A = this chain, B = another copy of it.
Amino acid sequence: MTELLKDPEKATILAPLLANGWSETESGAAIAKHFLFANFVEAFAFMTRVALIVEKMDHHPDWSNVYRSVDVILSTHDAGGVTLKDVRLAEKMDEATAHV
């Protein structure tokens, strides 16, 4: 779960996320996504839902919010890059948007 993903396995595992708005950061050490909501309330509702998830996972995002947008960067610092923990959290974030 916390083992660094490496190609070609990494490319296969990330493919569904990359097709869903996620991208690899330049260094390849993180994945990122820009979420856009109808307004601040919707954006913060998403963040609140995700906050409960990340605290339970004990895996926290680097994220920022400006009005109705939320920018997320996921990386597993202990591993020095992207692991399955980031993939699972990215999937849960995408699921969380369905409820906002």
Binding site for B on A (CB under 8 A): 40-41, 44, 47-48, 51, 54-55, 60-67
Contacts and interface: CB of A to CB of B under 8 A. Distances in A.
22 contacts: A40-B51, A40-B54, A40-B55, A40-B60, A41-B55, A44-B48, A44-B51, A44-B55, A47-B47, A48-B48, A60-B66, A60-B67, A61-B65, A61-B66, A62-B64, A62-B65, A62-B66, A63-B64, A63-B65, A63-B66, A64-B64, A64-B65
Copies in the complex: 2
* Top 9 A-B pairs, shortest CB-CB distance: A64-B64, A44-B51, A62-B66, A60-B67, A40-B60, A40-B55, A63-B65, A41-B55, A63-B64
